[in-house]
Structure 1
């Protein structure tokens, strides 16, 4: 059981951390809290070949026209790392837009040093 003095010091440490943290650090911390969902893993712990559920917020969505197969790519950030969701043969998907919170499921691949899930199953967060 923590004493009042220990609780006060712990609270002071948290306050000092918030005051000295960069905007990016604070945003990442908030994303980690918001992305913590039952059954989901943190993106930074996901490795090649793992089948995972990850939750986060879409940072960027880009349509890439290709001659043989167009793709829609979305960067999912959970505050620990980014996983690129690649939807093959799609030009757009309703609800897949920057700022949108969602949960995605699929097998992690690595392309050009980045974590990728091809054609993930996904569920849009209803709070958006």
Structure 2
């Protein structure tokens, strides 16, 4: 029985788009009790989500100082923005995090301003 599951996964890996496989992996690994999926969150929701940071950017101009990160949980992308910060230790691409805050929407993109975050250990 275990062999048939292995063969199914292998067949799927050989025929499916690599982006879809990566999305499925992230989605499976980011399931957590009490966490919402990003795709289900809408503007105004207070949400807790678990996912990975795909990219991190900093802006050091005094009028727009801040850190911006692309958060992905396998279902949708949410932009995280921390205002007034030049750098946040531990906020780096590939890092798994739990974020909590109110979802906003700007030009059709989901955002979370100054979210509370928890960094996950690298081996989780």
Q: TM-score range by the shorter chain?
A: 0.7 to 0.9
Structure whose CA Rg is larger: 1
Identify which of 78, 96, 100 aligns with 1:83. Answer: 78
Identify which of 104, 117, 124 aligns with 1:122. Answer: 117
1:46-125 counterparts in 2 under 5 A?
46-125=41-120
TM-score, length-scaled by structure 2: 0.88
Q: C-alpha separation between the residues in 2 aligned to 1:74 and 1:94?
A: 13
| 2:35 matches 1:26 | no
TM-score, length-scaled by structure 1: 0.85
SS of 1:54's equivalent?
strand
Give the C-alpha shift of residue 19 in structure 1. Answer: 2.4
Q: C-alpha separation between the residues in 2 aligned to 1:13 and 1:99?
A: 28
Q: C-alpha separation between the residues in 2 aligned to 1:38 and 1:22?
A: 29
Give the C-alpha shift of residue 71 in structure 1. Answer: 1.4
Structural RMSD (CA)? 1.9
The unaligned stretches of length 5 or more in structure 2 are none
SS of 1:48's equivalent?
coil
Aligned residues: 121
